[in-house]
């Protein structure tokens, strides 16, 4: 536990090889797949991070924001409880769940998620503490889109732009020191909001399913909501 905190504080990210059991991951995949296939219920929370508006086109990088608004059972799953306990140890007892999301890379889509900082999507808050827990629900490696990280240097948001047609934010950055983090099913990473990260496209025959849980101080969540930020709106640079 202390090593997890030490790594996170020193480099802005860390990993946990065995965060969930195979049974816990299987339970999440069942809920995940149901949400992924139900475009009607998820329509208002769903988008393609690769960009594009053609409803008949295959989604390359499906993002569903705040899936627990639709499936309340997610909030009682052990993954949420375990992640919160670990995050409190890393950043303090006042940390709470801000939002969750699903990101799936479909087979043979081979579309990367560009280099970016999560903080580029967020409003500027006085307390900068935040951490995202990225949970692998499939075995992840370079060919299907495991996470890559660059160690955080300071709490500064770089200049970001949107990919065309409502796609993800991206920034230009030197990546020669980037580190790939492959994981087995049920493994996870934790990264800071200012930590630069990226993933390659999925060139394999299988899905690359990930569940992401974001945490920040309870008072900062209340401040976000008071300013109308609930992580369900249009994807754009906010900071």
Q: CA 8 to CA 15: how far, in whole Å?
A: 9
- For 115-159, the pLDDT digits (tens) are 999 999 999 999 999 999 999 999 999 999 999 999 877 788 999
pLDDT of residue 239: 47
The answer to the question of residue 233 being in a domain is no
- In which residue ranges of the chain is pLDDT below 50? 239
In a domain, 239, yes or no: no
Distances (CA, A) of 227 to 28, 223, 230: 32, 6, 9
Query: Could you tell me which of 147, 145, 209 has the C-alpha nearest to residue 179?
Result: 147
pLDDT at 155: 82
Considering the entire predicted model, what is its pTM?
0.94
Q: What is residue 223's predicted lDDT score, i.e. its pLDDT?
A: 97
Whole-number Å distance between alpha carbons of 140 and 93:
31
What's the confidence (pLDDT) of residue 52?
Answer: 67
In a domain, 236, yes or no: no
Q: What total of structural domains would you count in the chain?
A: 1
Q: Positive or negative CA dihedral for 43, 186, 133, 87? A: positive
Give the pLDDT confidence score for residue 56 in this predicted structure.
57
105 domain-assigned: yes
Range of the domain at 167: 2-226
CATH label of the domain that carries residue 222 = 2.60.120.620
């Amino acid at each position: 536990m202390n090593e997890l905190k030490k790594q996170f504080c020193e480099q802005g990210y860390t990993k946990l090889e065995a965060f969930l059991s195979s049974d816990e991951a299987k339970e999440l995949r069942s809920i995940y797949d149901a949400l992924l296939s139900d475009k009607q219920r998820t329509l208002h929370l769903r988008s393609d991070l690769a960009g594009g508006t053609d409803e008949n086109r295959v989604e390359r990088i499906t993002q569903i924001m705040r899936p627990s608004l639709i499936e309340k059972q997610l909030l009682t799953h052990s993954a949420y409880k375990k992640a919160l306990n670990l995050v409190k140890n890393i950043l303090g007892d006042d940390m709470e769940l801000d939002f969750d999301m699903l990101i799936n890379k479909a087979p043979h889509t081979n579309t990367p998620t560009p280099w970016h900082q999560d903080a580029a999507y967020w409003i500027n808050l006085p307390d900068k503490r935040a951490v995202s827990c990225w949970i692998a629900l499939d075995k992840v490696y370079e060919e299907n889109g495991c996470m890559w990280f660059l160690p955080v240097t300071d709490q500064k948001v770089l200049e970001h732009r949107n990919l065309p047609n409502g796609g993800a934010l991206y920034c230009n950055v030197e990546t020669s020191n980037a580190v790939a983090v492959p994981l087995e099913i049920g493994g996870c990473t934790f990264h800071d909001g200012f930590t630069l990260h990226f993933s390659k496209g999925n060139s394999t025959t299988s899905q690359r399913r990930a569940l992401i849980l974001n945490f920040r101080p309870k008072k900062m969540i209340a401040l976000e909501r008071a300013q109308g930020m609930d992580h369900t709106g249009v994807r754009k640079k906010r900071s």
